[in-house]
Amino acid sequence: MTTFRCASVAFLFSLLHSVLLARSESFIGINYGQVADNLPPPSATAKLLQSTSIEKVRLYGADPAIIKALANTGIGIVIGTANGDVPALASDPNFARNWINSNVLPYYPSSKIILITVGNEVMTSGDQNLMTQLLPAMQNLQNALNGASLGGMIKVSTVHSMAVLKQSEPPSSGSFDPSFGDLMKGLLGFNKATGSPFAINPYPYFAYRSDHRPETLAFCLFQPNSGRFDSGTNIKYMNMFDAQVDAVRAALNSMGFKEIEIVVAETGWPYKGDSNEVGPSIENAKAYNGNLISHLRSLVGTPLMPGKSVDTYLFALYDEDLKPGPGSERAFGLFKTDLTMTYDVGLSKGAQNTTPAPATPKTPATPSPSPSTNGTWCVPKSVVSNAQLQANLDYACGQGIDCRPVQPGGACFEPNTVASHAAYAMNLFYQNSARNPWNCDFSQTATLTSKNPSYKGCIYPGGRT
């Protein structure tokens, strides 16, 4: 009786954990830009968002129609002030109060406003006057929120580009540009005092654009690669996203601000561009965004911030057809303006515990329904780092295989280790790729075996070659 009760409790706990994970993906957000003349009505967008696992939306302004449309949806809303508003916000507390009175009070709490961003990438704008006014503008908005008794409910911050870092490679050497000096220290002091996040825009796409090597592309797209070793921490990084975010973490830590949380305000990959642009394609965009989402859902975190996912706002909800610049600037949208998907990265609610189909169709194999004694399986080699195994897991699960067995409540979730989960996923990827030997390579970290790795309750698909 005791054994049954323990088993039942364990099962219920595992089931509850699985349900909570599926429902609480608050770390996935999206940017809703409006530099376009063909956007769908806000009400249609609100319905679209509710059909997805996206739980937060970042606006670059404070469009009342959109804020109203998101009322009572439970979707967190980030609103923003324009760079042009910074001087008035900094010099006139009444302007700040009026801004809160106009853009927050009429809608909150029905519309779940969670953060106000003051300007966008001001510190790298080159406008010294604007840079010096940024902190006073944030302080006046915070005071206005405090006066409305909302100071503890809605945070105030600003958004930075990666260019605020003087150094980012290796990640442990991450440091802010010293030319920002006391200005950056003042902003970080504000973040710490108010509990607001440090918002950053990391784009592995731009890193690849300046380094076209295939190995760099794999590193940027969360695909199997040889990794990059950080001698300062003895950590091997397996993807650019983690490396960029950890460089920011190191920079904050080096200035004594270890408690400030990081939010990824923008990251994405364009699905098309001009003929002279390197990197934009449907395949690359789907790989980056799909594998990033899988990485976030794994809750593995980054090497310097393990065990939880950084709040990440994907760029972007729709294309913005009026944006200037190269063609790629108008091709970041995950959804078309007719509300259909540009490509599938597994954001629909029905796909929360599955993965999207691969960009390049693969010949499906028919896995053996039960343990086989005459099959071939793909397993990790004996000495492979957890970082490499996690990269293999992210890659395999991002290619359209069914990774539910290694998610909470799945038959192969226990033992709950990266090594065990990666082994199952790597084998399933191999089996579903026509059992081609080159699909059991994973940057030379995997090998074929005739020994069945299945164990009690967990069956590894396998078959004859």
Q: Do residues 289 and 350 lie in contact, with contact meaning Cβ atoms separated by under 8 Å?
A: no
Same domain, yes or no, for 62 and 120? yes
Does residue 366 belong to any structural domain of this protein? no
Question: Where a domain ends, among 303, 335, 367?
Answer: 335
**How far apart are the C-alpha atoms of 273 and 330, rounded to whole Å?**
8
Does residue 17 belong to any structural domain of this protein? no
**Range(s) of the domain holding residue 406:** 377-449
Same domain, yes or no, for 194 and 274? yes
pLDDT digits (tens, 9 = 90+) for 310-348: 999 999 999 999 999 999 999 999 999 999 999 999 999
Q: Do residues 296 and 394 lie in contact, with contact meaning Cβ atoms separated by under 8 Å?
A: no
Chain centroid to CA 285 = 13
Does residue 43 belong to any structural domain of this protein? yes
Task: Give the number of other CB atoms < 10 A from CB of residue 365.
Answer: 15
Does residue 46 belong to any structural domain of this protein? yes
Same domain, yes or no, for 47 and 123? yes
Instruction: Give the chain's length.
Output: 465
Same domain, yes or no, for 83 and 210? yes
**How far apart are the C-alpha atoms of 240 and 206, rounded to whole Å?**
11
Task: Name the domain count of the chain.
Answer: 2
Does residue 111 belong to any structural domain of this protein? yes
**How far apart are the C-alpha atoms of 392 and 443, rounded to whole Å?**
9
Does residue 351 belong to any structural domain of this protein? no
pLDDT of 248 reads: 98
pLDDT of 444 reads: 80
Same domain, yes or no, for 181 and 320? yes
Chain centroid to CA 369 = 35
* CB hemisphere CA count around 236 (13 angstroms): 13
Q: Which residues of 110-132 are buried (b: 16+ CB within 10 A; e: fewer)?
A: ebbbbbbbbbbbbbebeeeebbe
Same domain, yes or no, for 283 and 390? no
Does residue 416 belong to any structural domain of this protein? yes
Same domain, yes or no, for 330 and 410? no
DSSP helix, strand, coil percent of the chain (3-state; round to 5): 40, 15, 45
CATH assignment of the domain containing 119: 3.20.20.80
Same domain, yes or no, for 392 and 308? no
Same domain, yes or no, for 318 and 406? no
Same domain, yes or no, for 321 and 401? no
List residues with catalytic annotation: 121, 266
Low-confidence ranges of the chain (pLDDT < 50): 1-23, 353-373, 465
Residue 74 CB contacts under 8 Å (≥ 6 apart), including other chains: 55, 112
Question: Where a domain ends, among 318, 335, 352?
Answer: 335
Same domain, yes or no, for 321 and 397? no
Tokens of 267: 């990251």
Does residue 360 belong to any structural domain of this protein? no
Same domain, yes or no, for 248 and 383? no
Coil, helix or strand at residue 196: coil
